[in-house]
């Protein structure tokens, strides 16, 4: 009697345990994304009638220069910060991994702090720092004589992209360094010892031992950064509003603009669907790469 | 779970070594300076008068500290209730998510049931749906559910957290099966097993995941800024952006508001830094 | 041990927060169900931006005395945020806010979404008391949806000390005589740059607000759209005006900062900018905000015009209106508030003299216009505003103005950054505007 009751419980319990997740998932994720696909086939301003127009939104989207520009901008921003971030991150990580470094705890925290500080707050600080006429960065550069004319950090397309990239770098350097540090800690110290005995310099061991052994971790960081860069929103939204000339427009910013500023919900949904597909492809790629690790 | 940084000394020394290690130290210090400087500027600007924000030459530390910036925020701009909202939102959402994630993580780790494989793949697959892509339909769903301008509207979608389930599943898998078997023989029902045996053993998992979720929710911006509209319901991130004005943005107040948003988190993270860092790394790598 | 304690703290927090969340949502429900009966306190929520609120604050004591049962809560925000938030409000049918402040620039756009209360009958007595052009943007299908507040007659504020150093006249009447046309303005700009190093005005190359350009169009009766509603930005006249401003920029006569931002204001404070051709509301901004130390250095005169024979000399810049949310629970009280603030000459004059909001209301008693301004060289500056307003072309912003304004900003950026010709940039803009607004 008792045993069978317990058995029954054992059969039912897992379903009850996972039900909150699945209910929420269906209501707030799955249903919306399917609904999104439907909306993307309509012309809808958010409150009136939905007018079914087939693939017209997609046709318009694929011929919309701003959409391609938003993808291009993300790619450029990615190229501007990811190589620096991984390279510097790896150097810093190997320093923290060495036994002779002092103040490890402090440095680790100091590098990591920007990652959890509110993006909105940091963006506003960057606005103050990067103001063309009266910002701190330009006034310091001018007073030490590096530049004569102020640099339009947020007011010319290339500088604006660069500024956004630097802010992303600022926020994510520490995080990636910590990931790389974990990778380094799995490398046996004996390898370095052996190399040292063989007369390899520190720089040589960095390039010939460290980099190959954390290759997987570097790849992993790159994938994470790809997802992060294409989903950028807050930084360009506050720093540049996507400007000048849409040079810092990102897919999510465009989605936000079309939906909650211009109220083209149908068109915005077609962006959302494309964004979803893009993210899915990257995630699948990530799973492929790291499958054997599990 | 936590990795110690202490490693056996490699035992190399000499002048060359001292030279290179001090170079490394300097490099490290310079990078830290860059990461900490904006925070210094944030704190310093929060105590300036508006006329001292954009000046040339720059004012590093204001000669009179304008604490009234904070007073204005709390007295005139409702930052008391706004800070409370942020706190309420982050704790509520974190704690409920922890319960849901540990329940589901436990189920996936320790039970055999029909469709388990498929359902777990579904959980993994749900990681691929970016929240941004569901904003438009969610918004129209919210209209009917009266969740617009309601902090529950921010909390609910974040409770379905696939990452959290994955995270907690890892912790649950390390629990020995014998413990549960013994409890069952003693006549414990399933929920009691979860409460009495599983929960107490998941504490470090809770701390790690909890701090991650808390930080994420505290800084959440896009979705809250879409649905939270009245000042009584805003969170700090949203309220900071709302301080902007068309003609003269009160940057001194924005900086003071940013301090209010940054400081509590800084303190919490300094206390829980081990859990946060370990959790983030575990989460990223295993998730 | 330590972890256990942390867990308990977290759980306590959860309970406390759940309880308060439950309580607070109950409170809100109770609030909104309050019937608005005569004796009970009614709370009006007004969405507004800071400078406009400063104006209303001047009359709040009098309002409270007359309507003790109405409590007013101001929620301040950036005007562009205000509009996009209100668009969301309208799509959800919320009852809050009761009243919104809308610049004339965005009035027509907001009217089009059918979420404002029709106040045609209520404003009827004021129809002839306000500047006629203000009604047009607030009207759709002969129904009026907003009450005009202030106008922004465009005038030229100038630094008389810099003018004197450059050998130019300083008396307002003489300056108006010397700088009659934009060409005169350009010549003066070169002189001032030469003699004092100061720039003529401030405007951003890549992020312009287009205010200067729009004033130049307005005074000639030109706009992004013509009288039939067709796109007109590729017309030769508009290119002429644009080319003039491009010449000013290219010859380094312009301080590169978006108007009405902090760097722009700092340049004014530091005497790097010699003129501000802008709406009358700039007087309060210059006097109180950016240049309080320069009392007596600023004067006001009419803005230059395109050619000497042009009939109109003035233009309008901005100016606000108050409107009621269609779903407001307290439309009667909301109208009482609006009428008290904007319908009475007394409160309008107070906002004009103390907050620099030049009323859209045509004042019956002109004495207050003659008042000299201490800061502006003891000149009767409001007489200049009135003259400008009387000579302003009656033009409406139209509903697609916000989009056109945004695209225009990109035109300058293309010209200055990508070295595109003004003709091509304006043509591209016209094409984009046509396809986006489905106009001709």
Closest approach of chain B CAs to the CA of C168, in angstroms?
30
Q: How far is CA C436 from CA A156, B133, C403, in A?
A: 26, 24, 9
pLDDT at position A4 is 64
In the predicted structure, residue C43 carries a pLDDT above the cut 90: yes
Q: Between residues C193 and A5, which one has the greater pLDDT?
A: C193
The number of residues making up chain B comes to 287
Percentage of residues in chain C with pLDDT exceeding 70?
91
- The answer to whether B160 touches A21, Cβ cutoff 8 Å, is yes
- Only one residue has tokens 């020995």, namely B176
Q: How far apart are CA A4 and CA A216, in angstroms?
A: 49
Closest approach of chain C CAs to the CA of A45, in angstroms?
9
Confidence label for B198 from pLDDT (cuts 50, 70 and 90): confident
pTM greater than 0.90 (yes/no): no
Confidence label for B286 from pLDDT (cuts 50, 70 and 90): low
Residues of B in Cβ contact (< 8 Å) with A277: none
- Sorted by sequence, the CB contacts under 8 Å of residue C384 that are 6+ apart come out as C155, C172, C300, C301, C302
- The answer to whether C145 touches C323, Cβ cutoff 8 Å, is yes
In the predicted structure, residue C265 carries a pLDDT above the cut 60: yes
Confidence label for C303 from pLDDT (cuts 50, 70 and 90): very high
User: Beta strands of C56-146 (E only): which ranges?
Assistant: 70-76, 99-103, 139-140, 143-144
Closest approach of chain B CAs to the CA of A180, in angstroms?
10
- The answer to whether A154 touches A240, Cβ cutoff 8 Å, is yes
Q: Which residue of A92, A98, A268 is in closest CB contact with B31?
A: A92
pLDDT at position B4 is 37
Helix (H, G, I), strand (E, B) or coil at C37: coil
In the predicted structure, residue A40 carries a pLDDT above the cut 90: yes
pLDDT at position C34 is 43
Q: Which residue of A99, A127, A179 is in closest CB contact with B9?
A: A99
- Only one residue has tokens 């860092």, namely B277
Q: What is the mean pLDDT of residues B228-234?
A: 88
Q: What is the mean pLDDT of residues C20-49?
A: 60
pLDDT at position A189 is 78
- Only one residue has tokens 């009359």, namely C59
In the predicted structure, residue B146 carries a pLDDT above the cut 90: no
pLDDT at position A292 is 57
Q: Among all residues of chain C, which has the CA nearest to that of A257?
A: C84
Buried b (16+ CB within 10 A) or exposed e, C129-155: bbbebbbebbbeeeebbbbbbbbbbbb
Q: Is C37 on the interface with A (CB under 8 A)?
A: no
Residues of C with CB under 8 A from a CB of B: 3-4, 6-7, 10-11, 13-14, 17-18, 20-21, 25, 45, 49-51, 75-81, 85, 88-89, 91-92, 94, 96, 260-263, 265-266, 285, 289
Percentage of residues in chain C with pLDDT exceeding 90?
65
- Only one residue has tokens 């793949």, namely B121
Q: How far apart are CA B239 and CA B205, in angstroms?
A: 32
Helix (H, G, I), strand (E, B) or coil at C79: helix
pLDDT at position A3 is 57
How far is C-alpha A80 from the chain's CA centre?
A: 13
Q: How many CB atoms lie within 10 A of CB C273?
A: 28
Sheet order of strands, C298-302 included: C275-279, C154-159, C298-302
Confidence label for A5 from pLDDT (cuts 50, 70 and 90): low
Q: Is B92 on the interface with C (CB under 8 A)?
A: yes
How far is C-alpha C88 from the chain's CA centre?
A: 22
pLDDT at position C18 is 47
Phi, psi (degrees; rounded to nearest 5) at C116:
-100, 155
- The answer to whether C48 touches C56, Cβ cutoff 8 Å, is yes
pLDDT at position C397 is 92
- Sorted by sequence, the CB contacts under 8 Å of residue C364 that are 6+ apart come out as C345
Q: Which stretch of C156-160, C185-189, C394-398 has the lowest confidence by average pLDDT? A: C394-398
Select the residue from A245, A257, A261, A265 to test the C interface by mutation, using most C Cβ atoms within 10 A: A245
- For residue C154, what is the enclosing H or E element? strand C154-159
Q: Among all residues of chain A, which has the CA nearest to that of C262?
A: A134
Q: What is the mean pLDDT of residues A155-175?
A: 95
Cα dihedral sign, C32-C35-C40-C41: positive
Select the residue from C87, C269, C419 to test the A interface by mutation, using most A Cβ atoms within 10 A: C87
pLDDT at position B175 is 87
Q: Between residues C261 and C231, which one has the greater pLDDT?
A: C231
Half-sphere exposure of A53 (CA within 13 A, CB side): 16
Q: Is B53 on the interface with C (CB under 8 A)?
A: yes
In the predicted structure, residue C11 carries a pLDDT above the cut 60: no
Angle of helix C104-112 versus helix C79-92 axis, rounded to 10: 10
Q: How far apart are CA C362 and CA C360, in angstroms?
A: 6
- The answer to whether A217 touches A286, Cβ cutoff 8 Å, is no
- Residue A275 structure tokens: 């964004």
In the predicted structure, residue C421 carries a pLDDT above the cut 80: yes
In the predicted structure, residue B9 carries a pLDDT above the cut 60: no
Residues of A in Cβ contact (< 8 Å) with C257: 132-133
Strands C99-103 and C139-140: unpaired
- Per the CB < 8 Å rule, is C263 touching A47? no
- Per the CB < 8 Å rule, is C3 touching B246? no
- Residue A230 structure tokens: 């294409």
- Per the CB < 8 Å rule, is A11 touching B113? yes
Confidence label for C33 from pLDDT (cuts 50, 70 and 90): very low
Against chain A, the chains showing at least 3 CB pairs within 8 Å are B, C
**In the 8-state DSSP scheme, what is residue C396?**
-
Cα dihedral sign, C65-C71-C72-C75: positive
Q: How far apart are CA B172 and CA B167, in angstroms?
A: 9
Q: Is B72 on the interface with C (CB under 8 A)?
A: no
Q: What is the mean pLDDT of residues C318-343?
A: 94
Angle of helix B116-126 versus helix B162-173 axis, rounded to 10: 130
Q: What is the mean pLDDT of residues C297-308?
A: 94
pLDDT at position B92 is 95
Q: Among all residues of chain B, which has the CA nearest to that of A137?
A: B58
Angle of helix A31-39 versus helix B135-145 axis, rounded to 10: 110
Q: What angle do CA C145, C401, C304 make, to 5 degrees?
A: 110
Cα dihedral sign, C210-C214-C217-C220: negative
Supply the ipTM of this predicted assembly. Answer: 0.89
- Sorted by sequence, the CB contacts under 8 Å of residue A270 that are 6+ apart come out as A40, A57, A58, A60, A61
- Per the CB < 8 Å rule, is A21 touching B270? no
In the predicted structure, residue C21 carries a pLDDT above the cut 50: no
Q: How far apart are CA B82 and CA C95, in angstroms?
A: 21
> In this complex, how many residue pairs, one in chain A and one in chain C, have their CB atoms less than 8 Å apart?
46
pLDDT at position C9 is 53
- Per the CB < 8 Å rule, is C289 touching B95? no
Q: What angle do CA C347, C352, C355 make, to 5 degrees?
A: 100
- Per the CB < 8 Å rule, is A133 touching C207? no
- Only one residue has tokens 């995941």, namely B209
> In this complex, how many residue pairs, one in chain A and one in chain B, have their CB atoms less than 8 Å apart?
288
Q: Which stretch of A222-226, C28-32, C193-197, C246-250 has the lowest confidence by average pLDDT? A: C28-32
pLDDT tens digits for range A65-120? 999 999 999 999 999 999 999 999 999 998 898 877 888 889 999 999 999 999 99
Q: How many CB atoms lie within 10 A of CB B133?
A: 30
- Sorted by sequence, the CB contacts under 8 Å of residue C178 that are 6+ apart come out as C168, C169, C184, C188
Q: Between residues C363 and B92, which one has the greater pLDDT?
A: B92
In the predicted structure, residue B10 carries a pLDDT above the cut 50: no
**In the 8-state DSSP scheme, what is residue C305?**
B
Select the residue from B229, B232, B273 to test the C interface by mutation, using most C Cβ atoms within 10 A: B229
- Per the CB < 8 Å rule, is A245 touching C418? yes
In the predicted structure, residue B133 carries a pLDDT above the cut 70: yes
Confidence label for B16 from pLDDT (cuts 50, 70 and 90): low
In the predicted structure, residue C333 carries a pLDDT above the cut 80: yes
Closest approach of chain A CAs to the CA of C426, in angstroms?
14
- Residue B277 structure tokens: 């860092």
- The answer to whether C308 touches C181, Cβ cutoff 8 Å, is yes
CATH classification number, C156-315+394-437, choose in 2.60.120.260, 3.30.70.330, 3.10.20.30, 3.40.190.10: 3.40.190.10
- Per the CB < 8 Å rule, is B247 touching C260? yes
- For residue C43, what is the enclosing H or E element? strand C42-48
Residues of C in Cβ contact (< 8 Å) with B96: 14
What does the CA dihedral C285, C287, C288, C289 come to, rounded to 10 degrees? 50
Burial label for A230, CB within 10 Å (0-12, 13-18, 19+), is buried
Select the residue from A123, A124, A236 to test the B interface by mutation, using most B Cβ atoms within 10 A: A124
Q: What is the mean pLDDT of residues C133-154?
A: 93
Q: What angle do CA C157, C163, C166 make, to 5 degrees?
A: 155
Q: Which stretch of A106-115, A130-139, C86-95 has the lowest confidence by average pLDDT? A: C86-95
- Only one residue has tokens 């550069």, namely A141
- Per the CB < 8 Å rule, is B35 touching A170? yes
Q: Among all residues of chain C, which has the CA nearest to that of A135?
A: C263
Closest approach of chain B CAs to the CA of C425, in angstroms?
27
Q: How far apart are CA A87 and CA A83, in angstroms?
A: 6
Helix (H, G, I), strand (E, B) or coil at B22: helix
- The answer to whether C416 touches C249, Cβ cutoff 8 Å, is yes
pLDDT at position B7 is 36
Q: What is the mean pLDDT of residues B93-118?
A: 93
CATH fourth-level superfamily of A65-293: MetI-like (1.10.3720.10)
Query: What does the mean pLDDT of chain B come to?
Result: 87
Q: Which fold has domain C39-151+318-364?
A: D-Maltodextrin-Binding Protein; domain 2 (3.40.190)
Q: CATH assignment of B69-286? A: 1.10.3720.10
Q: How far apart are CA C53 and CA C47, in angstroms?
A: 9
Q: How far apart are CA A195 and CA A204, in angstroms?
A: 9
- Per the CB < 8 Å rule, is C6 touching B245? no
Confidence label for B44 from pLDDT (cuts 50, 70 and 90): very high
> Would you kindly state where each structural domain of chain B is located, as residue ranges?
15-68, 69-286
- The answer to whether C191 touches C283, Cβ cutoff 8 Å, is no
Residues of C in Cβ contact (< 8 Å) with A243: 206-207, 409, 413
- Per the CB < 8 Å rule, is B5 touching A104? yes
User: Beta strands of C264-397 (E only): which ranges?
Assistant: 275-279, 298-302, 320-324
Q: Among all residues of chain B, which has the CA nearest to that of A2?
A: B187
């Amino acid at each position: 009697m008792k045993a069978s009751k317990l058995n029954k419980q054992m059969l039912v319990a897992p379903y009850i345990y996972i039900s909150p997740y699945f209910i929420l998932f269906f209501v707030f994720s799955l249903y919306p994304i399917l609904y999104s696909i439907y909306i993307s086939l309509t012309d809808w301003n958010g409150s009136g009638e939905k007018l079914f127009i087939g693939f017209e939104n997609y046709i318009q989207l694929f011929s919309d220069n701003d959409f391609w520009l938003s993808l291009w901008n993300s790619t450029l921003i990615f190229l501007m910060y990811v190589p620096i971030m991984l390279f510097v991150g790896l150097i810093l990580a190997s320093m923290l991994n060495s036994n002779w470094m002092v103040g490890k705890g402090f440095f680790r925290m100091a590098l990591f702090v920007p990652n959890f500080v509110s993006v909105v707050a940091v963006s506003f600080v960057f606005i103050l720092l990067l103001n063309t006429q009266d910002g701190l960065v330009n006034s310091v550069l001018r007073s030490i004589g590096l530049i004569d004319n102020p640099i339009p950090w947020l007011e010319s397309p290339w500088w604006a992209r660069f500024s956004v990239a630097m802010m992303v770098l600022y926020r994510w350097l520490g995080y990636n360094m910590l990931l790389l540090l974990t990778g380094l800690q799995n490398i046996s110290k004996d390898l370095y010892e052996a190399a040292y005995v063989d007369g390899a310099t520190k720089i040589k061991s960095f390039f010939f031992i460290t980099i190959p052994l954390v290759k997987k971790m570097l790849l992993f960081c790159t994938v994470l950064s790809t997802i992060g860069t294409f989903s950028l929103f807050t930084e360009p939204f506050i720093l540049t509003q996507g400007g000048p000339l849409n040079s810092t427009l990102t897919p999510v910013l465009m989605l936000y603009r079309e939906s909650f500023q211009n109220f083209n919900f149908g068109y915005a949904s077609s962006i959302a669907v494309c964004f979803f597909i893009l993210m899915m492809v990257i995630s699948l790629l990530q799973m492929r790469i790291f499958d054997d690790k599990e | 779970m936590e990795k110690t940084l202490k490693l056996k000394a490699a035992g190399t020394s000499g002048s060359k070594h001292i030279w290179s290690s001090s170079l490394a130290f300097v490099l490290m210090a310079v990078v830290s300076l860059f990461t900490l400087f904006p925070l210094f500027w944030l704190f310093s600007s929060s105590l300036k008068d508006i006329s001292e924000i954009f000046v040339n030459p720059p004012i590093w530390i204001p000669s009179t500290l304008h604490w009234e910036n904070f007073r204005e925020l709390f007295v005139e701009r409702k930052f008391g209730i706004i800070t409370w909202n942020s706190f309420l939102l982050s704790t509520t959402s974190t704690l409920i998510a922890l319960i849901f994630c540990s329940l589901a993580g436990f189920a996936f780790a320790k039970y055999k049931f029909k469709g388990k494989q498929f359902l777990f793949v579904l959980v993994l697959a749900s990681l691929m749906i970016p929240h941004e892509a569901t904003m438009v339909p969610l918004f129209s769903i919210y209209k009917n559910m009266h969740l617009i301008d309601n902090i529950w509207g921010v909390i609910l979608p974040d409770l379905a957290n696939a990452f959290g389930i994955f995270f907690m599943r890892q912790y649950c898998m390390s629990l020995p099966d014998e413990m549960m078997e013994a409890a069952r023989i003693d006549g414990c029902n399933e929920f009691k097993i979860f409460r009495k045996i599983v929960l107490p053993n998941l504490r470090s998992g809770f701390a790690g995941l909890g701090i991650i979720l808390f930080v994420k929710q505290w800084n959440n911006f896009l979705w809250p800024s879409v649905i939270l509209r009245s000042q009584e319901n805003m969170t700090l991130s949203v309220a900071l952006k709302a301080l902007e004005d068309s003609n003269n943005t009160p940057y001194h107040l924005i900086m003071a508001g940013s301090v209010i948003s940054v400081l509590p988190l800084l303190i919490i993270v300094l206390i829980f830094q081990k859990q946060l860092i370990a959790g983030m790394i575990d989460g990223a790598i295993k998730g | 041990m330590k972890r256990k304690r942390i867990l308990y703290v977290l759980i306590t927090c959860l309970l406390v927060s759940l309880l308060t969340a439950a309580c607070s949502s109950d409170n809100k429900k109770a609030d909104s169900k309050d019937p608005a009966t005569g004796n009970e306190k009614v709370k009006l929520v007004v969405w507004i931006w800071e400078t406009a609120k400063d104006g209303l604050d001047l009359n709040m004591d009098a309002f409270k005395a007359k309507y003790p049962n109405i409590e007013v809560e101001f929620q301040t925000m950036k005007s562009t945020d205000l509009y996009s938030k209100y668009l969301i409000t309208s799509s959800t049918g919320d009852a809050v806010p009761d009243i919104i402040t809308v610049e004339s620039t965005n009035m027509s756009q907001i009217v089009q979404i059918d979420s404002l209360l029709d106040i045609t009958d209520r404003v009827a007595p004021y129809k002839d008391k306000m500047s006629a052009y203000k009604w047009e943007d607030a009207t759709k299908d002969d129904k009026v949806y907003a009450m005009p507040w202030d106008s922004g007659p465009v005038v030229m504020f100038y630094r008389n000390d810099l003018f004197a150093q450059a050998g130019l006249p300083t008396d307002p009447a003489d300056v108006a005589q010397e700088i009659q046309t934009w060409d005169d303005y350009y010549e003066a700009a070169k002189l001032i740059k030469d003699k004092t190093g100061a720039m003529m005005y401030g405007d951003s190359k890549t992020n312009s607000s287009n205010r200067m350009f729009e004033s130049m169009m307005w005074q000639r009766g030109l706009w992004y759209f013509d009288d039939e509603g067709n796109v007109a930005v590729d017309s030769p006249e508009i290119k002429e005006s644009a080319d003039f401003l491009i010449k000013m920029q290219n010859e380094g006569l312009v301080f590169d900062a978006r108007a009405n931002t902090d760097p722009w204001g700092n340049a004014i404070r530091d005497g790097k900018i010699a003129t501000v051709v802008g709406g009358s509301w700039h007087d309060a901004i210059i006097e109180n905000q950016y240049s309080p130390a320069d009392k007596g250095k600023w004067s006001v005169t009419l803005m230059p015009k395109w050619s000497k024979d042009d009939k109109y000399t003035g233009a309008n810049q901005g100016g606000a209106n108050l409107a009621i949310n269609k779903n407001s629970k307290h439309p009667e009280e909301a109208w009482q508030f609006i009428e008290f603030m904007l319908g009475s000459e007394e409160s309008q004059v107070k906002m004009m003299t103390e907050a620099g909001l030049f009323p859209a209301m045509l004042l019956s008693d002109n004495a207050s216009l003659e008042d000299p301004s201490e800061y502006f060289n003891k000149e009767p500056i409001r007489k200049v505003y009135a003259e400008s307003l009387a000579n302003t072309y009656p033009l409406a912003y139209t509903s697609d103005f916000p989009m056109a304004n945004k695209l225009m900003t990109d035109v300058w950026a293309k010209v200055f950054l990508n070295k595109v010709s003004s003709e091509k940039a304006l043509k591209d803009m016209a094409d984009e505007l046509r396809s986006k607004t489905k106009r001709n």
